[in-house]
Amino acid sequence: MDTGALQNLWWLTGAIFYAVSAVAVLCAAWKYLVGLDQRSAETLVQLEARFADLTDIARAVDPEAHEFEGSGLAHAVQKGLDAQWDTRDDKERALMRRLDAFLRFLQVLGTLERNRLLNRRALWDTYHYWFRAIDTNPMLRRYINLHFPVLNAFLRRNARHFEEYWKLEQRSREEVKVQGAMS
């Protein structure tokens, strides 16, 4: 075998090696991305199980339920804002424990997203309503500003997402109205 043939064979072997390496890297990246989506989905399922334990307080915060005042939560929060914690009764203390658990849950969600441990789109598609519910309640925003600085920073940083999802929700409401009028 002459030198030129050996060089060509050596070059061909190297090219095959690099091609196989590139394919292996692409396969590893694909597997990582698929695994990331799967882990994100598993995380969301676990988070939903945790959220199910918070539906009572979420309902009190829900602007559509109109229970913030009637549940006593507004009064309990106001006492905290006025530094009158010691005047809360047992029911108000229980409401505040539940509110703090709910806000910590939302803070964990924001932290997971911020640290790229949870897919941003998945987070917003699932929990945008609750972030917007606390963000649009002036009393809760003041409470969050005082006691949940990480959540407060997350809400400020993501204000434009609230607007996007608000528009999406408004379009959905309009579609429901049109469908109702047609039936």
List pLDDT tens digits, range 27-47: 666 766 556 667 777 888 888
Whether residue 85 lies inside any domain: the answer is yes
Let me know whether 19 and 91 are in one domain.
no
Q: d(Cα 183, Cα 179) in Å, to the nearest integer?
A: 6
* Same-domain check for residues 1 and 65: no
Number of domains making up the chain:
2
Contacts of 101 (CB under 8 A, 6+ apart): 54, 57
Q: Which of 90, 89, 94 is nearest to 56 (CA)?
A: 94
> Which domain range does residue 65 map to?
53-182
Distance (Å, whole) CA 130 – CA 113: 15
Question: In terms of pLDDT, which residue wins out, 63 or 20?
Answer: 63
Model confidence at 72, pLDDT cuts 50, 70, 90, reads very high
Q: Which pLDDT score, from 0 to 100, does residue 1 have?
A: 62
How is residue 128 written in tokens?
A: 């945008």
Tell me, yes or no, whether 8 lies in a domain. yes
The alpha helices in the chain, defined as continuous H runs, are 3-52, 55-61, 73-81, 90-114, 120-135, 138-147, 149-157, 159-182
Domain for residue 5, yes or no? yes
Question: DSSP class of residue 117?
Answer: S
Of all residues in the chain, the percent with pLDDT exceeding 90 is: 45
Regarding whether 71 and 27 lie in a shared domain, the answer is no
